[in-house]
A and B are shown apart, each in its own frame.
Chain A
């Protein structure tokens, strides 16, 4: 799943460094990247980071978000519930409708994300995230391009 050996064509501009994740945006494109920098992001920090992205979405008219989860080993369902049911809904209204995810090379993690997302989908069939363009990518460059 992880593949970042090729040099990137686009230039990433650092925007915010959190304790467990960092945010950057792609120069000249309406794309933001959030990268997990530790194996787990506590919910408090997770909300802080995504609220920060929310500000960036508003100020830079971001339409695509790449979430690089390759460093993560633990998945937190309550954080994901907030992310899907509140944050993504707000962002949809601000124009952020395209999401790309880069998953770690960890089968349990990948499966848990899938199960967790299905659970949220089942419980919230009317949410906007069901209409979003969500895909998995192998690298940041691949996520920017596709």
Chain B
């Protein structure tokens, strides 16, 4: 009788372990693509930020160059290439 109970318990334990493994696999299957998507979105946001920063830096640079040009024109120290 005791032997049979132990066997039953072992069987139950094995069943439970199999169920845990199955759930784990299901979880990995569902979370894997989600994790990948989040990582892509993160990369996209960072790229967007860099892209805008690059555009702003360029606009700043142009602004400074224009200011420099205006100063030269105002001071009379400007020679047109035409």
Give the B-binding residues of A (Cβ under 8 A).
39-40, 42-43, 74-77, 108-109, 111-112, 115-116, 119
Docked-complex contact B43 and A108, CB < 8 angstroms = no
Docked-complex contact A108 and B44, CB < 8 angstroms = no
B55 at the interface (CB under 8 A from A): yes
Q: How many A-B residue pairs have CB under 8 A?
A: 38
Query: What's the least CB distance linking A133 to chain B, in Å?
Result: 26
Contact pattern, B 27-66, Cβ under 8 Å of A = 1, otherwise 0? 0000000000001100110011011101100100000000
Residues of chain B within 8 A of A43, CB atoms compared: 43
The residue of chain A having its C-beta at the shortest distance from the C-beta of B47 within the complex is: A76
Compute how far the CA of A75 lies from the CA of B43 in the bound complex, rounded to whole angstroms.
11
Compute how far the CA of A32 lies from the CA of B11 in the bound complex, rounded to whole angstroms.
60
Docked-complex contact A42 and B51, CB < 8 angstroms = no
The A interface is mostly helix, strand or loop, or mixed, namely helix
Residues of chain A within 8 A of B47, CB atoms compared: 40, 74-77
Docked-complex contact B48 and A74, CB < 8 angstroms = yes
Residues of chain B within 8 A of A119, CB atoms compared: 54
Docked-complex contact B50 and A111, CB < 8 angstroms = no
Docked-complex contact B43 and A116, CB < 8 angstroms = no
From B39, B40, B43, B50, A77 is in contact (CB under 8 Å) with B50
The residue of chain B having its C-beta at the shortest distance from the C-beta of A113 within the complex is: B51
The residue of chain B having its C-beta at the shortest distance from the C-beta of A109 within the complex is: B51
Docked-complex contact B44 and A111, CB < 8 angstroms = no
Residues of chain B within 8 A of A115, CB atoms compared: 54-55, 58
Are A108 and B50 CB-contacts (below 8 A) given A40-B44, A43-B43? no
